[in-house]
Structure 1
Amino acid sequence: MVRGYLTRRGLGLAAGAAVLTGATGVRARTRFTRVMTAKGVVQFQRADNGVLVAHGIPYGANTGPRRFQPPVPPPPWGDAVLPGSYGPASPQRGNEPNQSEDCLRLNVWTPAPAPAPGRRPVIVYIHGGAYATGSGSSPLTDGARLAARGDVVVVTVNHRLGPLGYASLARLAPRFEDSGNLGQLDLILALEWVRDNIAAFGGDPGCVTVVGQSGGGAKIATLMAMPAAAGLFHRAVTMSGQQVTASGPLNATRRAEVWLEALGLTPDRIEEVRTMPIERLIEASAATDPILGGSLYFGPVLDGRGLTRHPFWPDAPAQSAAIPMMIGNTREETLAFLGNDPANAGLTWDALPARLTPSQMRIDVAPEEVTAWYRANHPRMTPDQVLIRATTAARSWRAAVIEAEMRAAQGSPVFVYQLDWASRLSNGRTGAYHTSDIPLMLDNVEADGSGAVGPDAQTMADRMSDALLAFARTGDPNHAGLPVWTPYSLERRETMVMDLPPRMEDDPRGDERRFFGRIPYVQPGT
C-alpha cells in the first residue's frame, strides 16, 4: 500500500458512506464513486455542481529516490484509497504550499465515469509559472465548471520544475543524460497515463486537448516537437505561452555550472546533488543567470535525446502538422509584470526611455526610437500605455506571431485570438494582462485570483470557454456566440479579437508587428 493512503476498510470507518457495487459504481445516495485504474482504485468525491473530482492521483513514482532520472510509473496501490486532496507541488522557490519530490500527481474532474453513453473529450491543463513555479491546484484552473459546462473530462497536472526538471548536467557527468528535459518527460508520462486510464473516467483517449497558459503553453509547444509525445494529444491550445527555440546545450550547461558553484560543488562532486537536502538545491537556483541576468533560467534543452530539434525553428514541427492548434495572447501582457510597480505609473515622455530597458523589451533596440515611433504613430497613447504596449509587442507577442506564421506556412490548422477585454489588477489598473484569459477560458471568473470583474465577466467567459469546448470536441473553435472564426493565413493574419462584442480582424496591431519585426528575435533564455 502506498504510504498515507487509506485502505478500503479504513475509509469505510472514516466516512461510513461508500459501498462499492462494481469497478465504477456505488449504490444510490452514496457520497463516493470509485474507479479502477491499472494501478489501483481511485475514489471520487462530488463537487458542489455534481461533477465528480479525484485529486492527487499518482501518474509517476516518487522522484526523490530517482532524482535527476527519467520518471517511471508509480507502484500499484491496489484497493488503497487516495487521500482525496491535491497532491504535492514540485519543490520550487515560489510560495506554493505542500511541496515534495513526490509530485507526479494529477487531478480529474468528470461528469460521470464509464460506463456512460459515448466518450467525452479530454482537456489536459498544464500550469504556467515559466518552468520554475506553479501547480495544477490553483482555484483558477479548477475543472468542475468546465467539465459540467461542456460534458468533458478535465485533468490538471504537476511535474518537476526548476533545476529538478531542467538542470542540464549531461555534459558534466555520466548518468545525467536526460536531466535537461525531465519536466517534459514527466508530462509525457502523464499523457501516457491519460491514454491508458482516462476511458475508465468517461474520457476518450483518442480526443485529448492539451491547454496551457504562459509556461504551460511553452511546455506544449515543446511537446509538439518531442518524438516521445507523438500521438498522445490531438489538439493544442497555448495561451500567452510560446517556445520558438530551446536552450542550446552549451548555454544550458553553463547555467548548470553556475548552479553547482552556488551549491559549493565542482563537477567531480556532482553526484552529491542526488542526496543533498532539497532546500539547498532550490535555494541555489537564485544564483545569477550568466546569460540573461536575474535568477537562473531552467527550461527545455536541445539535448539530442528527448528534444532533437527546436520547437518552432526553423519551421513548425512536422510531427504535429495535423494537430489543430489555437494560439492566444493578451493585448497588454506585461501589465501583469509592470503594472503593480508604482515607478511605472504617471510616467512622462522624458522618463519613458529609461523604463524601456533591454530586460523588459528583450531585444536590442534603442528605447528612444521606440518612444518616438509610438508618439508619431499612436499619438493618443500615454507614456504609461506605451510602456505596456511596447514591452508586450517586443517580447512575448513576437513568439506567438512566429509560431502562427510557421503553422500557416506549413499549411497546418491554427486559430489565433487576441484578448482585448480588460480585467483588473489588485491595485485597480485595468487591461488585458498576462493570465487574465485563464478564468475566462476555464469558466472560473468567480474564483480566487480572478481579475475578471463586472457584469460582463461571465458573458466573456461564456464566449471563450465555449470556444475551448468546441475546439476540444472538433478541432474548430467556432460556436454560436462568436462571429465566424477563420484560420490564420500569412496573407490576412486572421485573428479573433476577444472582446464584447467579439470580432474578427485581419492583422490587429500590424504596425507594431512590422516595427518590431525588423529586429531579430531570440527566445529569452535560449
Structure 2
Amino acid sequence: MRKVLATLLAATFVAGTSAPAAMNPISGDPVAIDSGRVSGTMLSSGVRAYLGIPFAEPPVGNLRWAAPKPVKWDGIFNADRKGAECIQVLRPHNINHYFGEEPSSEDCLYLNVWTPPTAKPGAKLPVIVFIYGGGFTIGSSGMPNYDGENVAKAGAVYVNFNYRVGALGFLAHPELTAEQGGHSGNYALMDQALALKWIRANIDKFGGDPDKVLIMGQSAGARSVSLQLFNPMAKGLFRAAVMSSGCNFVADGVGGGQMMTLSEAEKVGLAYQEKLGAKSLEDLRALPADRILAVQSETQVGAHVEGVRIQGAIVDGYVIPRQNGEMLASGDIARVPIIASYNQDDIDAGMSPLSRVKTVAEYKAAVQQLYGANADAYLKLFPIATDAEVPAKAKRYATMAGLETSSRRCALAMSKLGVNGYVDEYSHKHPYVPGVKIADQDIATIGAYHTSDMPYWLNTLDKYNMLRPTRAWTEADRMLSGQMLGALIAMAETGSPSTTALAWPATTAKTDVKMDFDVPAKVVPLDTKRLDWLAAHPAAVQARSTRPDRVRD
C-alpha cells in the first residue's frame, strides 16, 4: 500500500512551463474513489483538474512486463500535476509537436480528469476519454494539445491516461508466457483496459456518467480504440468509439496485414534479449530502462535507431483472442456506434507508392505494381491525363484506397451489426503564421496532415502558440473546433454526433455520405462507385516506408 502525502515526485514540472504550478484547492475535496482520497486543483477558468492520479501500481521490478495492478493508498493524494510520460525517446525542440519537456519514467501509469465548473457527483455528464497515438513507441497524456480544460468548459468530463509504449508495453517472451499463464505482451492494451475500468468505477464521483463514456484515439490511439472493441477485458466499459486516422479492423493492419501471433512475437522478444546480452528474464528486469530503449528501433520525432522493431499488438489468445477480421466475422465485437475519421493529407497517402510518382508514366507503373491484372480497370476509374495533375490526384487516389476505404468499411460493418457508423474527412489546413519555421513541416506545401484534426476535436488550438507563435487562428477555426467538439460530446451523450449546429447522418448502404470538416463543415456524398471497386480489388501489399513524409505524432 502506497502512502501519498503531497505532490507527485515523478513529475516535478508541468510540461511547457519552467516552474511548478501552484495548487488551488477545490471546495469539497478530497474525492473518495476506489483507490483512496484525492484532491485536485482549480484552474482559472473554474474547471476542476485532477492531474496525475495513479490508476495502477508502478510497473517496475517484477511488474515490468506484467499486467497492471490496481493501486491503493492511505492519506490524501494531491493530484495537482501530470504524471511522467512512459519511457520513450525525447523530442527535438523545433518540431511541430514540442510543447515543453516532460519528465519520463517507468513509473508512468497515471491519468488526468477535467470536470466542468458546476459538475457535482452524480451529475451524469457525458465523458470523453482520449488515447494518444505515436506508433506505439511514443506519446503522452501530458502533451498540452491533449488537455481537457476546454472540453470540460463545453460541458463534458474529460479523461486521458498514459499506457506503456515500445518494448516495455509490448514485449512477448517465452519466459513471460510461462509466468503469465500462456500469454505475454500487450501490456499497453491491458493498461488501457485497466484505465477504462477505473473510469467505470470512479467517474461518477467527478460528475461523469459511467454509461455515457466515449473512447477516442488518434493513429496508434485509434488502433488502440479498435482493439478495445475486441478486447474481452474492455467489454461494457464504453458506449461509443471514435477512431481518428484511422479505423482498420475490417482488414487487420495497414495494407491488410495480420497482427503478429504470440509465437512470432516471442521470437522478437528472444532477439531483444540477445541484443541486450541478457541471460534470462530476471536479467532483463534488472536492466535500467534506458538500456531497453537504446536497442529498440525508432524512426519518429527525429530519432534514427536501428534496433529490434516492436510492432505493437499481438494475437495472444487473451487480450486479443483472434485476428480482428475473424472476430468481426463472428460478431465478437463491442456493438457501439463509431466515428471513423481520417485526414485529407493523412499518413497513408505519404506511405503509399503513389505518393512518390511525379509523371503519368510513373503513375501507371505504380498502378501496375499495385493492381496487376486489374491495373487497366483501375486506370479507367482513376485517370490522370497530364504530369501536372499527378501530385494532387495521385495523393487523392492514395487516400481513397487507404483510410477513406477502411473508414467506410468500418462504418458499413457496424451498420450490418445493427449500430451506426459515421465517417468524416478532416480537410482544413491550419492557418500558419507567415514565415514560421517548423523542422518537420513545410508550411507552404503541407495540407491537412496526420494529427492536424486533434486541436479541433479537443479545442486545444491555442496550445500550438504556447511556446512560440506558429498558427494564426481565426474565428472560422474556432467555429469549426466548436462544431467538432460538439459532435464528440453529442456522441457521448446520445450515441449520435448530430447537433443542432451540425446534422451528421450515419454512413449506410443507403446513405453513403461523410462529413467534410472544412470551413464550412458540410455533409458530402462518398464516391460510392470508386470506393466499392477499391474495396473489391485491394492493392497488393507493398513494403511501406518506415520514414513516411507525413508527420506521425
TM-score bucket of the superposed structures, by smaller chain:
0.7 to 0.9
Displacement, 1:512? 5.5
Local SS of the residue matching 1:403: helix
Alignment partners' CA distance in 2, 1:64 and 1:234: 33
Query: C-alpha distance in 2, partners of 1:353/1:69?
Result: 50
Identity of aligned residues (%): 27
Instruction: For CA contacts below 8 A with separation 6 or more, give which structure has more relative contact order.
Output: 2
Q: Is 1:184–1:219's contact at 8 Å kept on the other side of the alignment?
A: yes
Matches of 1:114 and 1:523 in 2, distance apart?
Answer: 51
Determine the structure 2 residue equivalent to 1:123: 128
Q: Which residue of the partner structure matches residue 480 of structure 1? A: 500
Shift of the 454–349 alpha-carbon distance from structure 1 to 2, 3 Å rule, reads farther
Going from structure 1 to structure 2, the CA distance change for 1:353 and 1:456 (only over 3 Å counts) comes to farther
Within a 5 Å distance, the mapping from 1:438-457 to structure 2 comes to 438-448=454-464, 453-457=473-477
Could you say which residue in structure 2 is the equivalent of 1:258? 271
> Where does residue 271 of structure 1 map in the other structure?
282
Q: Count matched residues.
A: 493
Report whether the alignment pairs 1:56 with 2:58: no
Question: What is the aligned partner in structure 2 of residue 29 from structure 1?
Answer: none
Shift of 1:41: 2.7
5+ residue gaps, structure 1, are: 9-13, 27-32
SS at 1:423 equivalent: coil
Q: Does 1:497 align with 2:502?
A: no
Q: Is the 8 A contact 1:312 1:406 kept in 2?
A: no
Aligned to 2:294: 283
Partner Cα distance (1:523, 1:203) in 2:
45
Give, in angstroms, the shift of residue 495 of structure 1. Answer: 1.5
Matched, 1:41 2:60: no
Q: Distance in 2 between matches of 1:294 and 1:510?
A: 44
What is the alpha-carbon distance in structure 2 between the residues aligned to residue 113 and residue 313 of structure 1? 45
Cα distance per residue 1:168-203 (max 9 Å; x no partner): 224886215443211111111101111111111111
String of CA shifts for 1:24-60, please: whole Å, max 9, x gaps.
835xxxxxx5322222332222223221112111000
Q: 2:480 aligns with which of 446, 457, 460?
A: 460
Query: SS state of the match for residue 519, structure 1?
Result: coil
1:409 aligns with 2:411: no
The residue aligned with 1:155 is: 159
Q: Hey, what does 1:308 align to over in structure 2?
A: 321
Q: 2:444 aligns with which of 425, 428, 435?
A: 428
Q: Which residue of 2 aligns with 1:11?
A: none
Structure 2 residue runs without a partner (length 5+): 9-19, 92-100, 253-258, 300-305, 432-440, 545-553
User: What per-residue deviation string (whole Å, max 9, x for no partner) do you get for residues 318-353 of structure 1?
Assistant: 3545311111111221389679xxxx8994556668
Paired residue secondary structure (2:69): coil
Aligned residue for 1:6?
6
Normalised to the residue count of structure 2, the TM-score between the two structures is 0.78
SS for the counterpart of 1:211 is: strand
Distance in 2 separating the partners of 1:408 and 1:280: 47
User: Partner of 1:308: helix, strand, or coil?
Assistant: coil
Deviations along 1:189-243, one digit per CA (max 9) or x if unpaired, are 1011111111111111121111111111110110111111101111111111334
The CA deviation string for residues 77-110 of structure 1, in whole angstroms up to 9 with x for no partner, is 422424x221011112353731111111000100
Contact in 1 for aligned 2:276/2:292 (Cα 8 Å): yes
Provide the C-alpha distance between the structure 1 equivalents of 2:523 and 2:512, rounded to a whole number of angstroms: 10
Residue pair 2:382, 2:397 contacting (<8 A) in 1 also: no
CA distance in structure 1 between the aligned counterparts of 2:103 and 2:489, rounded to whole angstroms: 31
1:437-474 CA-to-partner distances (Å, cap 9, x unmatched) read: 11111112222278684442112112211111111111
Does structure 1 conserve the Cα–Cα contact (< 8 Å) formed by 2:49 and 2:114? yes
**Is residue 258–residue 287 contact of structure 1 (8 Å, CA) maintained in 2?**
no
Q: In terms of mean alpha carbon deviation, does 378-387 or 33-42 score higher?
A: 378-387
Matched residues in 2 for 1:25 and 1:219: separation?
36
2-structure distance, mates of 1:455, 1:368: 45
- CA displacement at 1:384 relative to structure 2: 2.6
Aligned to 2:261: 248
Give 1:61's aligned amino acid: E
Among residues 66, 89, 93, which one is paired with 2:85 in the alignment? 89
Letter in 2 for 1:157: F
Distance 1:365 1:308 in 2: 34
Name 1:101's counterpart in structure 2. 106
SS in 2 for 1:42: strand
Instruction: In structure 2, give the amino acid aligned to 1:301.
Output: I
